[in-house]
């Protein structure tokens, strides 16, 4: 997946190219008989490669909130027809309860490919891209929840500024929020991607070369509407609980906010923790071993510019004996 729009036309949407395909699946160290989770099916690139490495006893459970991804899993080029495969229409944050309902209590590996996919970016009516004038939706799951336009129509100016600043790392968050609030007070609330893009362009005084002024604001609203950072924290915790000893966690992120959460989570679970209130008690066990960080090759970035910001972080679930007392 990806979080960065790239050039294409509405008539010819960009073909989805799975980022860090082989590297991510290699990182899972697939055991042919194991149970694996693809937390972000998208258009199935990682899922298909995982299935190709599983034996007859292996299993893969995929998750995705996007109804279009669920439809793609059963039709078209992304279709997956395999008795070892199943897909759930829910967030990867819910993987623990979803797998429990299937009778699974542990898995050999979890892969999360964060952000927004090329088909989502390149479908105008989804409202993820400022390249098309369309309804300002931005929901990953179009069957539920408020849209980005709904948020801008109801949130107060201070909240809008906070979201744009914190989730978009936008230094002009306050003037952007003021402009949005002023439009709303005039009786013309922002309802389209084109309207928001034009408003932001007037409010942002300077921007990095080659970056559209609306980039950071669109990212921030998308994260807010979908609760992406909270979902990531919940998903990482669920994955840790599910991973069997020696199981692998592989996470691809596309911007610093996501990567910081993943990096800090792995670091926190990769050290012993002493309870200062009970110094004689054994330390809390290390649960993970960080196995490294992987960036796309120059060749991959040249072939697929949307890969340029991707970072893959990998960790291994430790047996209790390796990490100390439980």
Asked if the 21-119+228-323 domain carries CATH number 3.40.50.150, the reply is yes
* pLDDT given at position 10: 35
Domain ranges of the chain: 21-119+228-323, 139-225
* pLDDT given at position 208: 78
Superfamily of domain 139-225, CATH level 4: Putative methyltransferase TM0872, insert domain (1.10.150.170)
Percent of the chain with pLDDT over 90: 81
pTM: 0.89
Residue 4 has pLDDT above 50, yes or no: no
Task: Give alpha helix (H) positions in 34-133.
Answer: 45-53, 67-73, 95-101, 118-121
Residue 259 has pLDDT above 90, yes or no: yes
Q: What is the mean pLDDT of residues 39-56?
A: 97
Residue 13 has pLDDT above 50, yes or no: no
C-alpha span between 125 and 138 (Å, rounded): 9
Residue 70 has pLDDT above 70, yes or no: yes
Pick the closest to residue 48 from 84, 89, 13, 15 (CA basis). 84
- And the tokens for 302? 């040249």
* pLDDT given at position 326: 42
Percent of the chain with pLDDT over 70: 90
pLDDT digits (tens, 9 = 90+) for 188-241: 999 999 999 999 999 998 777 878 999 999 999 999 999 999 999 999 999 999
């Amino acid at each position: 997946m990806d979080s960065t729009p790239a050039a294409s036309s509405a008539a010819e949407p960009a073909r989805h190219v799975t980022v860090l395909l082989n590297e991510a699946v290699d990182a899972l160290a697939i055991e042919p008989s194991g149970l694996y989770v693809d937390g972000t099916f998208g258009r199935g690139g990682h899922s298909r490669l995982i299935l190709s490495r599983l034996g007859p006893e292996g299993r893969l459970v995929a998750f995705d909130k996007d109804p279009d991804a669920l439809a793609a899993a059963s039709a078209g080029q992304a279709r997956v027809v395999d008795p070892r495969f199943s897909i759930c229409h829910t967030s990867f944050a819910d993987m623990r309860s979803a797998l429990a309902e299937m009778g699974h209590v542990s898995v050999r590996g979890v892969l999360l490919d964060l952000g927004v996919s090329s088909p989502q970016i390149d479908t105008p009516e989804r409202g993820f891209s400022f390249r098309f004038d369309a309804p300002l939706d931005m929901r990953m799951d179009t069957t539920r929840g408020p849209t980005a336009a709904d948020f801008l129509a109801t949130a107060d100016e201070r909240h809008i500024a906070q979201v744009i600043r914190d989730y978009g790392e936008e230094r002009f968050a306050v003037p952007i929020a003021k402009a949005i609030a002023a439009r709303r007070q005039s009786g013309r609330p922002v309802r389209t991607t084109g309207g928001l893009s034009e408003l932001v362009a007037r409010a942002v005084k300077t921007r990095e070369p080659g970056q559209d002024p609306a980039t950071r604001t669109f990212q921030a609203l998308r994260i807010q509407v979908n609760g992406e950072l909270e979902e990531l924290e919940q998903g990482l915790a669920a994955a840790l609980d599910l991973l069997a000893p020696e199981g692998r966690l592989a996470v691809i992120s596309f911007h610093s906010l996501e990567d910081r959460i993943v990096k800090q989570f792995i670091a926190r679970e990769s050290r012993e923790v002493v309870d200062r209130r009970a110094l004689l008690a054994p330390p809390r066990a290390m649960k993970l071993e960080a196995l490294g960080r992987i960036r796309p090759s120059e060749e991959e970035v040249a072939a697929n510019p949307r890969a340029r910001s991707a970072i893959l972080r990998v960790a291994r679930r430790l047996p209790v004996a390796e990490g100390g007392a439980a």
